[in-house]
Amino acid sequence: MKLYILEEKQRSICDQFINNKEIDEIFDHDIDNYENSMLRNIESYCNDNTFKSAIFMCGVGHRKSIINKLKEYDNINNCVRW
């Protein structure tokens, strides 16, 4: 929990210094594509392999958005039980 709070504060500080909407949009778009790619790779692996359980590890900076994406992803694909 503390790492998540720290990441949010770090993002806020960066936003104050950069304060450039165009750069923020590009950055957010790139991160979104990267996270979607991670989820597609997991889906692909699940479709091609059999296993009982697994662990998905990602950096704390991706935690919040990955959790939100997984809520939507569950509705689309039942390949993985999160």
Render 35-64 in DSSP notation, one character per residue.
HHHHHHHHHHHHHH---S-------HHHHH
34 token code pair: 């990267």
User: Which residue ranges make up each domain of the chain?
Assistant: 2-76
Q: Which of 3-7, 9-13, 51-55, 76-80 has the lowest mean pLDDT?
A: 76-80
Its pTM stands at 0.68
Q: What distance in Å separates the CA atoms of residue 19 and residue 43, rounded to the nearest whole number?
A: 36
Nearest to 39 by CA among 1, 75, 3, 11: 75
Residue 3: pLDDT band with limits 50, 70, 90: low
> So what's the pLDDT on residue 73?
72
CA dist list (Å): 62 to 12, 42, 49, 68, 78 = 15, 15, 25, 10, 22
